A and B are shown apart, each in its own frame.
Chain A
Amino acid sequence: MTSPTDAVSAPSTPPGTRRATGARFAVFWGAPPLIWQLAFFLVPLGFLVAMTFWSVKNFRLAPDSTLANWIFILNAGFFRSAYVYTFWLSALTAVLASLIAFPAAYTLAYKVSPATRRFMIFMLVVPFFTSYPVRIYSTQIFFSPQGIINTVLTPLGLGPLQVLNTATGTIVGYMVLVLPLVVLLQTFALSNVPRILIEAAHNLGCGRLRTILTVIIPSARIGLIVAGTFAFVLAFGDYVAPVYLGGSKPPTLSILIADQVKSGNNWPRASVVAVTMIVTLMTVMLVMLGLAYGKRGAKR
């Protein structure tokens, strides 16, 4: 989000009038997204937090100031296991997606012609043309016991492959969601590494792998970490993949939210889960950004 303050401080030395015009200009164009965020993110977030202290009587929400929801959820075995499971699976997704995406991003950034790159980037955007739930449903066809993959594997004496209703299924779904995005972000990150650094490394006799490890990855670190963090954030909150490919077995935090609402209209308990998720994501973001922009990055 570009806030008006960035824009205001950007023009450096002009006289007062020009500065005032610039500020007005920035406020005019910068305010709408800010107001939008305020109205549709901050305000609901405030409600969400407030609601964690409410109670439910006869399926009706009643304003209250009870800690019961927090105590119940944080002590519930099913919440703790769902938390660990969701965190672990999302972290795994982030790492796997980053590893799988890197060779593709490397190829796109350095090894293909600009025309090919443009085409491939376009192809990476194409999946977003279809709604994500539909993509997940079509993945079911591939992995069902009599699905496309098992039909091919069975005559070869391999399989049947059990993917639906397992953690693997959930990971596959997460990959469907995040992989194109991670490849894109990594490609942009790698494309921004100054060519001159890579050439210098080659001139100094640095091998290909060593160039990647000591020049390219450190230089593109911010983009690479942001890409992985995005993958984590998207997977952590996803509801569709764990339900339709993971069979809710075991449930992730997002499923827990739906369950709490579905079974007893228990919005307060669902809010506790949601707030815990938000706090977790904020912490993860801060840690990852610290890692990305931290001291060791100062080399560049």
Chain B
Amino acid sequence: MTPPDEPITDFRALLHPMNRRRLLQGAAGLAGAAALGSSLPEPAYAQDKVLNLLSWPGHADPAVVKPFEDKYGVKVVAKEYVGGEPMLALMNQSPPGSFDVVLADAEYIGMLKEGGFIDKLNPADYSFADYWPEFQKFEPHWPGGELYSVLIRFGYLGIAYRTDVLTEADVKSYKVLWDPKIKGKLGFFDWYLPTMGCLSLYNGNKPPFDISDAAFGKLKETLFSLKPQASGFYSMADQFSMLTNGTAAAIPGVGDWVVLLLQKNGVPVSATVPDEGGIQWTESMSIVSSSPKKDLAKAFIQYMSSAEGQVRSAHMPAYWASIPNKKGWELLNKDFPADAKALRHTFDARNVMDEYKDGKIFIRKTPVKQSIEAWNDVWSEFKAM
């Protein structure tokens, strides 16, 4: 089952926002009713004492945001989503003013900007000087040369695997996904983008998301050939339980964010970036254009990118991640040396920045030459095989 300190539940993250609330929203949208206000989180505080955050699960955890809340006398209330497309849908459907800050993955920043959903930011407002040089001007966040989002955390995606089934040598290549040892035990994170990205790398496509239609056809074949290996398609939280109970011996397209928490609970799992390369995921924060509390939103992003916010975000209870702020690394090593080691954020050994410098890591993007829908439909077809 999910680890005890694991606050994500599928039913919070998936069922409610996905099915009930958004079904209502869809109906309301249809009716053309302006009653969409119901999509807002229940205000436990007066609205002016709330910072509304749209994010992946876990980012409004008190373990992360408590110092900010105390300092400003506000409550951070999150509407959580799973997957970039649901995030875009929520941004599109919610009435203006619903959110102050949106946490999104890099590949969606351009679309958010195009849609006029996020504000241009002033780089001088944020502590980029403390960031690792590689992330001081993170290209996807600067559409048209202007800053639109501040990188908060990131990680690499390759293969997560159970160490009692596969060895480090086994997972040197994505070839292991077809290994008879894990027949019927290959789990999938139920999102087309990371899995298909890793398989695209296996097919030799670099960069993996900008591929010709011929290469896309081949990617489809590669994906479909994995069907006999498949154990199931998991939501975010189910990956934790399926790796823990051994139903899944390996999951492609995921990484440290899944295994670090499990390792802490003694589950024999590890994650790796195979030789063919891995995908980088990112989470960054932007100020929502329709926010009535832009100063508070700015202050929140400043906090989250500061050394303290970064340390708290790195070992956020829901899922851990690498942080781009070097000062954050220093603080993490000082206050939580064991966690720094688990995150490979130490300065005296090979760390995640070294892996980044190896050139094997590619930023996750939405498909360039095909539509998102085309990739999604392949995924639907694969699931139904």
Residues of A within 8 A of B (CB): 44, 47, 50-51, 58-61, 76-79, 81-82, 133, 137, 140-141, 144-147, 162, 164-165, 239-240, 243-244, 246-251, 256, 258-267
State the main secondary structure of chain A at its contact with B: helix
Q: Which residues of B contact A79 (CB under 8 A)?
A: 384
Please give 6 more A-B residue pairs, beta carbons under 8 A apart, in addition to A59-B92, A133-B11, A247-B231.
A78-B384, A81-B384, A144-B246, A165-B242, A249-B383, A251-B380
Tell me if B247 and A165 are in contact (CB < 8 A).
yes
Known: A146-B245, A264-B85. A47 touches B192 (CB 8 A): no
Residues on B with C-beta less than 8 A from A76 are: 377, 380-381
In the assembled complex, the Cα of A165 lies from the Cα of B383 at a distance in Å of 12
Cross-chain contact A147 with B380 (CB below 8 angstroms):
no
Provide the bound-state CA to CA distance between A266 and B373, in Å. 9
B83 touches A144 (CB 8 A): no
Partner of A243, one of B22, B235, B376: B235
**A222 CB to nearest chain B CB (Å):** 34
Assembled-state Cα–Cα distance A184/B241 (Å): 34
Residue pair B89, A248 in contact (C-beta under 8 Å)? no
Give me 10 A-to-B residue pairs in the complex whose CB atoms sit less than 8 angstroms apart, sorted by A's number. A77-B381, A77-B384, A165-B242, A248-B233, A249-B233, A250-B383, A261-B86, A261-B89, A264-B376, A265-B89
Q: Which residues of A contact B367 (CB under 8 A)?
A: none
One of B15, B115, B242, B384 near A133 (C-beta < 8 A): B15
User: Smallest CB-CB separation from B30: which chain A residue?
Assistant: A47
- Can you list, as one digit per residue, whether each of B345-385 has a CB less than 8 Å from chain A (1) or not (0)? 00000000000000000000000000011001101110111
Tell me whether B226 is interfacial, beta carbon within 8 Å: no
Assess the B383–A78 pair: CB atoms within 8 A.
Answer: yes
Provided the pairs A51-B30, A78-B380, A81-B384 are in contact, do residues A262 and B86 lie with their beta carbons within 8 angstroms? Answer: yes
In the complex, the answer to whether A267 meets B26 with C-beta atoms within 8 Å is yes
Interface size class of B (residues with CB under 8 A): 35 or more
Cβ of B230 under 8 Å from chain A: yes
Q: Establish whether residues B22 and A61, one from each chain, have CB atoms under 8 Å apart when the complex forms.
A: no
B234: chain A residues at CB < 8 Å are 247-248
Q: Which residues of B contact A265 (CB under 8 A)?
A: 85-86, 88-89, 92
Contact status B190-A248, CB under 8 Å? yes
> Which residue from A141, A165, A263 sits with its C-beta under 8 Å from B376?
A263
Contact B233 A60 (CB under 8 A): no
**Most chain A beta carbons < 10 A, residue from B190, B373, B379, B385:** B190
**In the complex, per-residue mask of B6-33: 1 if CB is within 8 Å of any chain A CB, else 0:** 0000110001001100100011011100
Partner of B30, one of A50, A244, A247, A262: A50
Selected from B18, B190, B383, the residue in CB contact (under 8 A) with A261 is B18
At the interface, yes or no: B299 with Cβ under 8 Å from chain A? Answer: no
- Chain A residues whose CB sits within 8 angstroms of the CB of B18 once the complex forms: 258, 261-262
Interface residue? B58 (CB, 8 A)? no
- Given A81-B384, A164-B232, A249-B383, CB of A261 within 8 Å of CB of B247: no
Chain B residue with minimal CB distance to A80? B384
Residue of B whose beta carbon sits closest to that of A134? B11
- Identify the interface centre among B22, B115, B233, B241: most chain A CB within 10 Å of its CB: B233
- A144, B246: Cα distance in complex, Å: 8
B61 on the interface (CB 8 Å rule)? no
A250 to B93, CA, bound (A): 30
CB closest chain-A residue, reference B1: A141
A160 to chain B, nearest CB (A): 9
CA distance A165 to B22 in the complex (A): 27
> In the complex, which residues 224-244 of chain B have their Cβ closer than 8 Å to any Cβ of chain A?
230-235, 238, 241-242
Neighbour of B232 across the interface among A77, A82, A147, A165, CB < 8 A? A165
CB distance from B26 to the nearest CB of A (A): 5
Choose one: B10, B22, B384; the contact of A250 (CB below 8 Å). Answer: B384
Q: How far is the CA of A239 from the CA of B373 in the complex (A)?
A: 23
Residue of A nearest to B190 (CB): A248
Q: How far is the CB of B384 from chain A (nearest CB, A)?
A: 3
